[in-house]
Amino acid sequence: MREQQLQDILRHMPAGVATLQGPELRYGFVNDAMQAVLGSPITEGQSVMEQPGIIPADLLDVMQQVYQRGQPYIAKAYCLPLADNNDGTTAPQRYYDVALEPVREGGSQVTGLLLFAMDVTGQEEARQRTHELAIETRRLDTRLRVLTETVPQITFTVDAAGTYEYVSPQWHYFTGQPTTADLNIIWPLLIHPDDRLRVLYQTEAARSAGVGWSYEYRLRRHDGQYRWMLSRALPELHAPDKAVFWHGALTEIHDQRELAEVLRRGEAELRFLADSIPELIWTATAEGFIDYYNKYSGEYSGLSGEELGPAGWISLLSPAEQAGAARRWIHSVATGESYEGLYRMRRHDGRYRWHIIRARQLTDARGLRWFGACTDVDDQHRLRQVLQTQYDELARTNRDLDTFVYTASHDLKQPLLNLRGLFDELRRTASFNDPQEEEIVVMVDDALYQLDLTLQDLAATVQDQRGLSAPAEPLDLRSVTEEVLLGLRTQVQESGAVLELDFEQVPTLTYGRANLRSILHNLLSNALKFAHPERTPHVLLRSTLADSGNPILIVQDNGRGMILPEEPAPVFQPFTRQHPQIGGAGVGMYLVQRIISSRGGHLEVASVIDEGTTFIIHWFDALNA
Amino acid sequence: MIHIIYISRAVRPLSDQDLQGLLAQCRRDNERNNVTGVLFYSHGNIAQLIEGEAETLNPLFEIISRDGRHSNVNKLISKPIGARSFPDWSMAFHPLEPNGFEALQGFLLPTHITPPPSSLTIADAMLLDLVKLAVFGVEPLAPKSI
Ligand SMILES: Cc1cc2nc3c(=O)[nH]c(=O)nc-3n(C[C@H](O)[C@H](O)[C@H](O)COP(=O)(O)O)c2cc1C
């Protein structure tokens, strides 16, 4: 009964148990676990030596020796090749602690062996993994060491007490200190005296707070020179708030610092320079946002850089110019093209002054930036405008005089013709007895001929120059008027005149182009010139049809008005000037009248002193001219 | 009432989904807070104009500038305005897969951005144009592949 119980226990043990009997080592009892280890089914009495199954030769050998010598033996983590799976794939290797115990049945003679096999595959695999890990760790360790010893930085480890545990060989190389030197004593002594206290304090503070650090200080090099270093370290935490070590690196940043210092100094000098120049100077980012205005910009505009902001300069320009200037700046930023423009910029007192704004791109190691300057050209610009006005005035007077010469020569033709007729008549009817008189007649004849030629030449010269005799053509009244106004833009701008153009009813006119321009120019410039000093000039141009059905042009102003010569048909004489205090050659109105009548029309005028003048040009008097 | 314009860089490129999520959240929150404006996004470049009452806008800008999705937030301008220039809040970007987006409320293809409204001062309108240029580059028309 007890035997049976024992067998049951053995049978169900998780370790393999088997008995081997006699020198042939025949299987006796084999429990289930052992069966599973051995794979193929075992029958009692079967000899291991004859049918070893999966048991390798070396184990068989050991079994025999244990049997012969009667000494137990344990093979640790012995690898038993498992029987191949049924599907032919190789089964995984398994490891066993195999124990061989000699059995002595009734006496000292060994009669068999007890075989135990304990599956230790799990433990074995864990051990192997640990081993591999250890190798890997060693490898990483070596790599880390090679790296720490080859990077240019000095690396170090400090423990929680502030003691240097490790410093890479670069430290010795840099400082020239022997490897035997006591780091913890020497290191602080190598720090520049001006930096020492700060460094020691900062390190201490970071350590007690359990945080990393980053600071710069000067460290004495082997040659005695102090070099700027950047020290950075991070804590190694063993618990969330328990730093045990600080690992860090020391980088030499001397050159960078010197360079930065030079740049800082250079930048400060440039800024000083920019701030001393009485011109608006600014810089902008690659995106076109202004990031610096010099001091003068603030003085001129009365606004701080903050108030101006990255695009505020636009709001300093005269309102009419802002949109164009903004468009041009965006174009420059988009294309990289230099910026240039002439604008009026508002000064702190509200006055606008003309400025040339220029900006150029600079690309260097620090990227792309814009540099701009606004130069005050107000005085030059105003001078130029005055000159331009005077030039325009002179050109006009010159043109008027030409036209006058032309019309005068034309006007003289008729009297000359009359004179010649009279003279011919005189010669025919009167008799000359004196031969000398005969000579005089010839001379007069010659003189008259000369006069005729001269007049013709005169007329032809200016006629060609001015295109006054150009044939009539259909003209768009609005576009000719706008051309004329373009020439008068300074006068219009300065007087702030309001012009009302209404050509709707009769938009075109068949006329000589130069003549039309001359008429319009004279009438419009007079309207502006003789503006009333106390009100904004208001000039109306209306093209319409008279009751007769002929086209007329009404030019009405609200100016000074004038005293009209000789009612009812006023005629303008050359060189008469209504307002002697105002410039002009005094031939303008005479010409206008001459041109209009030479083309078959007439000029009507009404004027009230201090209220204004209205001219009505009747282009053609005959119907359908 | 004030408006704020800033530019920033996305910490990593925003996907269609990220953008769509941002669009939905901002439209909802901005409508509730009476905030209007426009956001531009392209290849990690971000710019935004927001307008509203100072009491809501200043704290909102604080929140936005601390948002971990972007960094280098550069406030270009923050100043009082007389009136709003944007009727609602919208977002302009190039989705990789534009099909579903066209119908989304508040979404704009960069090519459909209208010029700055005339209620902005010319200086502010120029700033918005520069910001748009900084985000989309010279040619917002051609969507580039990433
Ligand atoms: C580029 C960018 C723009 C944003 N714009 C807005 C915005 O206009 N309005 C808003 O409410 N949130 C905006 N946000 C989101 C906020 O930063 C923040 O995530 C959100 O308001 C938090 O909402 P919650 O507190 O409900 O989570 C923006 C975020 C980013 C990255």
Q: Please determine, for residue B43, whether its predicted confidence score (pLDDT) is greater than 80.
A: yes
Q: Please determine, for residue A1, whether its predicted confidence score (pLDDT) is greater than 60.
A: no
Q: Please determine, for residue A431, whether its predicted confidence score (pLDDT) is greater than 80.
A: no
Nearest to B130 among A312, A330, A335 (CB): A330
**Are A95 and A77 spatial neighbours (Cβ–Cβ below 8 Å)?**
yes
| pLDDT tens digits, B80-105 | 999 999 988 989 888 888 777 777 88
**pLDDT interval class at B123 (50, 70, 90):** very high
CB of B134 within 8 Å of any CB in chain A? yes
* pLDDT for res B144: 41
**pLDDT interval class at B141 (50, 70, 90):** very low
Q: How many helices (H) does chain A have, and how many strands (E)?
A: 17, 22
**Are A26 and A115 spatial neighbours (Cβ–Cβ below 8 Å)?**
no
Residue in chain A lying closest to B133 (CA): A334
**pLDDT interval class at B79 (50, 70, 90):** very high
Residue in chain B lying closest to A306 (CA): B77
Q: Is the CB of B91 under 6 A from ligand 1?
A: no
* pLDDT for res A317: 95
**Are A516 and A483 spatial neighbours (Cβ–Cβ below 8 Å)?**
no
Q: Please determine, for residue A199, whether its predicted confidence score (pLDDT) is greater than 50.
A: yes
**pLDDT interval class at A428 (50, 70, 90):** confident
* pLDDT for res A419: 85
Q: Counting Cβ atoms within 10 Å, is residue A375 exposed (0-12), middle (13-18) or buried (19+)?
A: middle
CB of B66 within 8 Å of any CB in chain A? no
Which of A10-24, A73-87, A271-285, A344-358 is modeled with the greatest confidence?
A344-358
* pLDDT for res A26: 92
| pLDDT tens digits, A14-28 | 888 999 998 888 998
Q: Is the CB of B90 under 6 A from ligand 1?
A: no
CB of B67 within 8 Å of any CB in chain A? no
* Interface probe, candidates B120, B122, B135, chain A, greatest A C-beta count within 10 A: B122
Q: Please name which of B16, B13, B10 lies closest in space to residue B96, comparing C-alpha atoms.
A: B16
* pLDDT for res A109: 86
Mean pLDDT to the nearest integer, A246-258:
91
Question: Cβ contacts (< 8 Å) between A323 and chain B: which residues?
Answer: 122
CB of B130 within 8 Å of any CB in chain A? yes
* pLDDT for res A148: 82
Q: Please determine, for residue A590, whether its predicted confidence score (pLDDT) is greater than 80.
A: no
Q: Please determine, for residue A624, whether its predicted confidence score (pLDDT) is greater than 60.
A: no
Q: Counting Cβ atoms within 10 Å, is residue A536 exposed (0-12), middle (13-18) or buried (19+)?
A: exposed
**pLDDT interval class at A570 (50, 70, 90):** low
ipTM value of the model? 0.89
Mean pLDDT to the nearest integer, A132-161:
89
Give the span between the Cα atoms of A524 and A556, in whole angstroms. 9
**Second CATH level (architecture) for the domain B2-135:** 2-Layer Sandwich (3.30)
Q: Please determine, for residue B114, whether its predicted confidence score (pLDDT) is greater than 60.
A: yes
* pLDDT for res B146: 39
**For residue B82, what are the CA distances in angstroms to A242, B3, B5?**
57, 10, 16
| pLDDT tens digits, A318-365 | 999 999 999 999 999 999 999 999 999 999 999 999 999 999 998 877
Burial pattern A409-434, b for ≥16 Cβ within 10 A else e, equals bbebeeebeeebeeeeeeeeeeeeee
* pLDDT for res A466: 64
Contact B122 A329 (CB under 8 A): no
Q: Please determine, for residue A577, whether its predicted confidence score (pLDDT) is greater than 80.
A: no
| Selected residue with higher pLDDT from A90 and A214 | A214
**Are B122 and A326 spatial neighbours (Cβ–Cβ below 8 Å)?**
yes
Q: Please name which of A338, A335, A336, A313 lies closest in space to residue A326, comparing C-alpha atoms.
A: A313
| pLDDT tens digits, A488-518 | 887 888 888 999 999 999 999 999 888 898 8
Contact A288 B130 (CB under 8 A): yes
Which residues face A540 on adjacent strands?
A: A500, A556
| pLDDT tens digits, A511-542 | 988 889 888 988 998 888 888 888 889 999 99
Work out the widest C-alpha separation in chain B, in whole angstroms.
41
H or E element at residue B132: helix B122-136
Mean pLDDT to the nearest integer, A456-464:
71
